[in-house]
Amino acid sequence: MAAQIRHPEGVYQMKKKHAALITVIGLLLAGSLLAGGLHVYGNQKTIPKGTRLAGWDIGGMDISEVRSGLAARLSALEAVPLILKAEGNTEMTVTLEQAGTTYEAEEFLQGLKELTDGGLLQRVQARRSFASSWGLGIHLEIKQLQSSLSPAWERESFGIPADATRRITVDDQIVYTPETTSYEIDWHGLELALRAALPTRLSSFLTGKSITLEVPLTVQEPAVTLQALKDQGIERKISQFSTSLGLSGPGRTFNVEAAAKAVNGTMLPPGAIFDYGKAIEKAQAESGFREAPVIVNGKLQPGTGGGIRQVSSTLYNAALRSGLEIVERRNHSLPVSYLPKGQDATFSQGYINFRFRNNTGKYLIIKAAVQGRTLTVKLFGTFPRNVYYSVQSQTVEVLQPAAKYVADSSLPRGGTRILQSGKAGYIVETYITRFVDGKPEEKKKLSRDVYPAQKQVIAINRSGMSNAARPESRKKPLVEDGVSSSE
């Protein structure tokens, strides 16, 4: 049989087909291997090697194991005891959760979800780009801790600030009591300290450890300090003056006590003016006044508030002996029994007032009280110990009473009868002398006071002369030593 001879071109084509087939088979095999590899890679149930979560080495661990382990570890962190220590051995223990701290790993859990959810290629890509280091989310809500360390807890633990006090003893000594400070929590500082102390690693605080913090405190000062009180300058008693209530009845005694009570305890800042009229308004509001003799147009008659002029007059003398500036003062229309003429200070509500200015440069406290049958006014403040004042009055003129006639037809024609004896009046000058180291340094006239004479009232029958006794012009009643009736 004769041999067949292949054409070289045919052989080449056959080889080419074989090569193509081999290539296709190789590609199919490689694709199968790649697909298998991707399937295996994308379907892994473990964490990529070398991965750490907040210091916890989780590389190669089963994903489900990591999930459950993470929840337990986060709970363990929130359960870590926080010991809070403060001034005076004060201590409180709470968990981090009770202190308002919560932990989460949401970004990491989202990363785990992308490893297990979605298409193969998505899972493969997620695994390839999975971070090797993850942190925790830490949240602190300080208000939760504030509910435990409440203002009530602060008061119980540290007390409350107490003002410094000043009291004047029965023997006129000035006694100071220092203020008491307390503490309150510096919440901004505590929040910063707590944030800095919170654990951030899952490999720590899992075996009975705790966190101890010294609670930062701020000093809570009272409103009134000892230094502030002393700066007011109430150093000692600087003057005292007393007058006697004599035979004053119950009504007048009550009124003097009421006015003294209204004045007592008054504190005058430097430069302030004491207004006796305001003190009387205070007395009217707090205790009222009773009926007692008052002066109406220069004559004694029943009224309300009789006796209040004795308080203003006594205070006037205490003020003089402290060198205080008298702003407003007027003498009575009648001399008083409890003071020399020229050294009194009357009061008529709405018309005549008594006022003085605190010119000592420091604060001034007025104390006034009735003990037994004596009214005493004391002034406390700052005054040179080597200085004192002396007050003297002298009558420079006696005013003779004039006669006033009133008609009385019951008398014999031309007959007279004395209805009221007249009283002499006085013009009085008062001087004050300033002594330094026991020597007179300055003398000046304080006032020139007039006490009008009281007319003699005579009844007369002038027979037929109906207008012989001319009526005096009626004056609007001026009530001294009392208050205007509200009726």
Residue 238 C-alpha from the chain's centroid = 30
The CA distance from 318 to 295, in Å, is: 24
The yes-or-no verdict on residue 30 having pLDDT over 80 is no
pLDDT one-digit tens code per residue, 208-251: 789 999 999 999 999 999 999 999 999 999 999 999 999 889 99
User: Percent of the chain scored above 70 by pLDDT?
Assistant: 86
- Would you say residue 299 has pLDDT above 80? no
Interval 114-164: pLDDT, tens: 888 988 888 889 889 999 999 999 999 999 999 999 999 999 999 999 999
Between 29 and 429, residue with greater pLDDT: 429
Q: How far apart are CA 93 and CA 97, in angstroms?
A: 12
Angle among Cα 294, 297, 300 to the nearest 5 degrees reads 35
Please give the residue that has the higher pLDDT: either 13 or 65.
65
Whole-angstrom CA distances from 251 to 292, 305, 324 are 5, 8, 32
Cα separation of 199 and 164, whole Å?
A: 45
Query: The whole model's pTM is what?
Result: 0.72
Q: Is the pLDDT of residue 403 over 90?
A: no
Q: How far are the Cα atoms of 15, 157, 189, 279 from residue 117, in angstroms, in the given order?
A: 48, 55, 45, 88
Q: What is the helix (H) or strand (E) element at residue 194, kind and residue range? A: helix 187-197
Query: Residue 87's pLDDT is what?
Result: 85
Domain parsing of the chain, residue ranges: 52-159+185-218, 232-480
34 pLDDT more than 80: no
On average, the pLDDT of the chain sits at 87
- pLDDT for the residue numbered 466: 47
Q: Where are the alpha helices (DSSP H) in 43-150?
A: 63-78, 106-116, 120-128, 142-148
In whole angstroms, how large is the CA radius of gyration of the chain?
Answer: 52
Q: List Cα–Cα distances, 213 to 100, 139, 435, in angstroms.
A: 15, 18, 67
pLDDT at 486: 46
pLDDT of residue 459: 76
Q: Is the pLDDT of residue 321 over 60?
A: yes
Structure tokens at 37: 């590899």
pLDDT (average), residues 387-401: 95
CB half-sphere exposure, 9, CA atoms < 13 A: 0
Model confidence pLDDT, tens digit, residues 429-479: 999 999 999 999 999 999 999 999 988 887 788 775 444 444 444 555 566
